């Protein structure tokens, strides 16, 4: 089975993205492809520089890497134009981090970027689980307003008690997939049971977590072959429109 990691972020080391380290981790965990986004250094400021590094990495490893763009919503209409440009160049979706980028998920500030994603059919990944800016019901609210966009609820709203909101939030909005990385196995099992494997999207959250650890958690859920295929591959292939 081909494993697709839908969210990893290479470290920024000495002016470069350390994709070699990421690829080693992917190889160790049996992951064939990863969708990567820029590290923290490029989320708030220097978005274009970060996106160029991501695009360069994708072009250097087209058989292993795909990419998401990072655009800070505070850039407004300029940011929307920039996002459209990065999608034109081959990046596949938008990566958001409300904590690093300093906005509330429900703010209309985000709308210009989401309108671009809606027009292009581009998915939106957001880290979730940090009060007060990035909570499951906030993502569900946004997802209701943009029903044609597929959102990824990052890290299953880890940490801690915020995870209790994941299932009811996802039931509010069918256009949300759950990234189970960093959450504990029993929590992931409840998400799978309540939502079905079709809404669980394997992500490693490298380097926040480790691909090998995250793969082992999914394998430990006791899913049948069809369920594993969905979580590890099919959901991602459909989301990112990957032909492999």
Partner 1 sequence: MKLVDTHTHLPGTLFGESPRPIEDIHRQFEAEGLHEAWFFTTDGLIRDTVRNNDILAQAVRGHTDMFVPFCTVDPHAGADAAIQELERCAGTLSMRGLKLHPWLQAFSLTHPAVVPILRRAGELGMPVLFHDGSPPYSTPLQIAWAAEQTPGTQIVLGHAGLDDLTDEAIRASVRQPNVWLTLCGPSCGAIDEIVHRAPPQRLLFGTDGGGFINGLTSWYVAKIRACVSSERLLEMIFHENAERLLEISRQGARAK
Q: Which residues bind partner 1 (CB under 8 A)?
A: 99, 129-132, 158-161, 182, 184-186, 205, 207-210, 212-213, 216-217, 220
* Separation of alpha carbons 107 and 140, rounded Å: 13
Closer CB to partner 1, 10 or 79, in the complex: 10
Quote the strand ranges of the chain, DSSP E. 3-8, 12-13, 16-17, 31-36, 65-67, 69-70, 94-96, 124-127, 151-154, 176-178
Closer CB to partner 1, 52 or 190, in the complex: 190
- Closest approach, Cβ 129 to partner 1, in A, equals 8
- Closest approach, Cβ 77 to partner 1, in A, equals 31
Q: At what angle do helices 76-88 and 111-120 cross, to 10 degrees?
A: 20
Closer CB to partner 1, 92 or 152, in the complex: 152
Q: Which two tokens stand for residue 3?
A: 């494993």
Closer CB to partner 1, 72 or 127, in the complex: 127
- Closest approach, Cβ 171 to partner 1, in A, equals 18
* Separation of alpha carbons 56 and 18, rounded Å: 12
- Closest approach, Cβ 59 to partner 1, in A, equals 27
């Amino acid at each position: 089975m081909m494993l697709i990691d839908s969210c990893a972020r290479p470290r920024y080391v000495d002016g470069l993205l350390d994709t070699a380290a990421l690829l080693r981790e992917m190889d160790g965990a049996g992951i064939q492809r990863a969708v990567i986004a820029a590290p923290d250094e490029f989320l708030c400021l220097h978005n274009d520089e970060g996106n160029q590094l991501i695009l360069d990495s994708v072009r250097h490893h087209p058989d292993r890497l795909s990419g998401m763009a990072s655009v800070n919503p505070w850039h407004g209409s300029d940011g929307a134009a920039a996002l459209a440009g990065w999608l034109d160049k081959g990046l596949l979706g938008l990566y958001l981090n409300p904590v690093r980028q300093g906005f509330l998920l429900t703010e209309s500030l985000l709308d210009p970027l989401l309108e671009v994603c809606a027009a292009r059919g581009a998915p939106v990944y957001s880290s979730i689980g940090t009060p007060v800016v990035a909570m499951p019901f906030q993502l569900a609210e946004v997802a209701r307003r943009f029903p044609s966009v597929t959102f990824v609820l990052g890290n299953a709203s880890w940490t801690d008690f915020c995870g209790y909101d994941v299932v009811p939030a996802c039931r509010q909005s069918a256009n949300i997939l759950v990234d189970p990385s960093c959450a504990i196995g029993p929590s992931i099992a409840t998400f799978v049971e309540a939502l079905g494997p079709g809404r669980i999207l394997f992500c490693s959250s490298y380097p926040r977590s480790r691909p090998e650890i995250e793969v082992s958690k999914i394998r430990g859920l006791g899913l049948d072959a069809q369920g594993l295929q969905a979580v590890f591959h099919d959901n991602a292939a459909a989301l990112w429109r990957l032909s492999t």
